[in-house]
Chains A and B, each alone.
Chain A
Amino acid sequence: MINSIRNTVLFLLNKDNRGYVSPSEFNYFAKQAQLEIFESYFTDISKAVALQNSRKKSLNYGDTVQHIQDKIDRFYANTSLTYTSIDSNNGEEQDYFQLPSDLYKLINITYGGGFGTDTTMSGGRIVQSVAPHKFDMIVNSNLTKPTVTYPVYVRSGNNIFVRPLSIQTLVQANYIRKPLDPNWGYVTINSDPVYNADSSTNFEISEEDETELVIKICKYAGLSIREADVVQVAAQQEQVEYAKQNS
Chain B
Amino acid sequence: MPIIGTYIDHREYYQNNGNNPRDENWGTYQYLLLRDIINNFLLTYVGDDKVINKADRNEVIFHAKRGLQEIHYDALREIQQFEAELPDTLKMHLPHDFVSCVKVSFVGDEGLTHPIMPNHRTATPTSYLQDNTVHKNILMDHNDDALTGTPVIETNWSNQSSSTPKKPNPNHLGQNFGMDTSTANNNGSYVLDKNQGFILFSSDLLGKQIVIEYVSDGIYGLADDEIKVHKLAETFMYDYLVSSILKQKFGVQEYIVRRAQKQASASLRNTKIRLNSIKLGELTQILRGRDKWIK
Contact with A along B31-61 (1 / 0, CB 8 A): 0000100000000000011000000111001
B225 within 8 A of A: yes
Chain B residue numbers with a CB within 8 Å of A149 are 35, 223-225
B228 within 8 A of A: no
A128 within 8 A of B: yes
B65 within 8 A of A: yes
Do A130 and B58 touch (CB < 8 A)? yes
Contact with B along A76-105 (1 / 0, CB 8 A): 000000000000000000000000000000
* A110 CB, nearest partner CB in chain B, Å: 13
Given contacts A49-B48, A53-B48, A143-B66, contact A128 B223 (CB under 8 A): no
What is the interface of chain A, defined by CB distance below 8 A to chain B?
Answer: 49, 52-53, 65, 126, 128, 130, 138, 141, 143-144, 147-150, 152
Contact with A along B281-295 (1 / 0, CB 8 A): 000000000000000
Known: A49-B49, A130-B56, A144-B62. 16 other contacts (CB 8 A): A49-B48, A53-B49, A65-B48, A128-B56, A130-B58, A138-B58, A141-B58, A141-B62, A143-B66, A147-B224, A148-B224, A149-B223, A150-B57, A150-B58, A150-B224, A152-B58
Assign chain B's interface to a size class.
10 to 19
CA A152 to CA B61, docked complex, whole Å: 12
Interfacial residues of chain B within 49-91, with CB under 8 A of chain A in the complex: 49, 56-58, 61-62, 65-66
Chain B residue numbers with a CB within 8 Å of A128 are 56-58
Q: Which residue of A lies closest to B224 (CB)?
A: A149
Interfacial residues of chain B within 170-224, with CB under 8 A of chain A in the complex: 223-224
* B268 CB, nearest partner CB in chain A, Å: 20
* B129 CB, nearest partner CB in chain A, Å: 34
